[in-house]
Amino acid sequence: MKVLIVCSGNSRSGRFRLEIDKPYVYEQVEAIRRQFDVEFDFFLINGRGIRGYLSNLTALREKVQHDRFYIVHAHYGNSGFLSIMQKSVPVVITFHGSDIDLLSGRVLSKIAMKMSVFNIFVTQRLAEKARAKGNFAVISCGVDLDKTFPVDVAEARRRTGLDPGKKYALFSSSFGNPDKNYELARRAAELVGNIDLLELSGFTREQVNLLMNAVDLLIVTSLHESGPLVVKEAVACGCPVVSVDVGDVREIIGGIQGCYLTSYDPADIAAKMSAVLGSGARTNDRNRILSFDNKEIARKVYDVYARYAS
C-alpha cells in the first residue's frame, strides 16, 4: 500500500524539516511504516491562505496521476480541502484543532469533511464541535514512548548545557507563535522571578526529551489547542506541567500531583509555577499516557487506510 501525506511545508524558520516542524505527522508515519507494509510519499504545500494552497493544485494532481497511491492522508482542514480537489485517490483527513476551532478554517474544513472518505479528529471535543457524522473516528496524536522517557535531571542538564543552579521553565512552542501566547508566559515568569524561560523550537526529538528532563516545569499559555502533544511528552518524562485550561489538557494532567491548571491571569500562573519550584519534585504518572503510544495510534490509522484503500 502506498500513501501520500499532504500537509503544510511552511516554516517560520524558512527551512522546513518535517521531523521538527511537523513532528506529530513525521512520528505517526514512522510508527506506521515500522509496523505495517505501507510506503509513504509526501506532498508539502508551499504558500499560505486559500490562494497559496490552491496554487499547489496542479502539482498535486500531477503527483497523484504519476504515482499509484491508495490513499491521500491530509493533515489539517486546508490541506484536506486541497486534497479533495483531486478526484483520483480517496482522501482521509486528520483535523488537529485550529482548523475547526477558528472560523477562518472551519468553512473549508466543513466542505472537506463532506468530500473525504473518512475524517479523523484528534480529540472528542473537536469531533463534537465539527458536528462530525458518518465515517469518522477520534484518534489522538501519539507519543513515541521509546524516545520520550525520564532521564536524571543532573545528567539532562549536563547534556543540554543548562546551569545546575538555575530555575528553568520550558515554553510550549516558539516565542513567535501568536497562538501560543508567549507574552502571558513572559509576564508570569517575571512575577515568579529568578527563572529562565526557554523556547521550544528547532529541536530534534532527542533534544526535546533531554530539555523536558532538564527543566523545572513546562508552561502552556496557548489561546487555542486541541490535544497538545507537548503536554503528553512532559507527562511521559515526569516533567511538571503548569497550563491554562485549554484543549484536552485537563483530561491529560487532571489529578497528577505536581501538575496545575490555571486561568489566564498571570498572577495565578505565577503562583502555580512557584508551587512547582517550591516542591522541586518530578511527576510519576507515565502510565497516564500509555494509551497515546504511537504504536497503538499507528494501528488505528492503518485500519482506516486498509478500509478505504482502492
**Average pLDDT value for residue range 72-79:** 96
pLDDT (0 to 100) of residue 14: 64
Whether the per-residue pLDDT at 15 is higher than 80: the answer is no
The domain segmentation of the chain, as residue ranges, is: 2-142+293-308, 153-289
Whether the per-residue pLDDT at 20 is higher than 80: the answer is no
E strands in the chain = 2-8, 39-45, 71-75, 91-95, 118-121, 136-138, 168-171, 196-198, 217-220, 241-244, 260-262
**Average pLDDT value for residue range 41-45:** 95
Could you say which of 3.40.50.300, 3.40.50.2000, 3.20.20.70, 3.90.1530.30 is the CATH number of the domain covering 2-142+293-308?
3.40.50.2000
pLDDT digits (tens, 9 = 90+) for 146-181: 999 999 999 999 999 999 999 999 999 999 989 899
Could you say which of 3.20.20.70, 3.40.50.2000, 3.40.50.880, 3.40.50.720 is the CATH number of the domain covering 153-289?
3.40.50.2000
pTM for the full predicted model? 0.86
Rounded to whole angstroms, the Cα distance separating 245 from 298 reads 28
Whether the per-residue pLDDT at 88 is higher than 70: the answer is yes
Fold agreement between 2-142+293-308 and 153-289: yes
Mean pLDDT over the full length of the chain: 93
Rounded to whole angstroms, the Cα distance separating 188 from 271 reads 9
Say how many CA atoms lie within 13 Å of 234 toward its Cβ: 31
User: To 10 degrees, the CA torsion angle through 268, 181, 188, 193?
Assistant: 160
Q: Taking Cα atoms as reference points, which of 80, 69, 63, 75 lies closest to residue 27? A: 75
Span of 95-109, 248-262, 272-286 with lowest mean pLDDT: 95-109
pLDDT (0 to 100) of residue 226: 76
At 106 the three-state DSSP class reads helix
pLDDT (0 to 100) of residue 35: 95
pLDDT (0 to 100) of residue 104: 76
How many helices and strands (H and E) does the chain possess? 15, 11
Strand partners, 276: none
The values of phi and psi at residue 120, to 5°, are -115, 130
For residue 53 the three cell numbers come to 494552497
What is the number of other CB atoms lying within 10 angstroms of the CB of residue 290? Answer: 11
**Average pLDDT value for residue range 66-71:** 93
pLDDT (0 to 100) of residue 202: 82
Whether the per-residue pLDDT at 49 is higher than 90: the answer is no
pLDDT digits (tens, 9 = 90+) for 226-254: 778 899 999 999 999 999 999 889 989 99
Label residue 28 by pLDDT band (50, 70, 90). Answer: very high
For residue 27 the three cell numbers come to 512520528
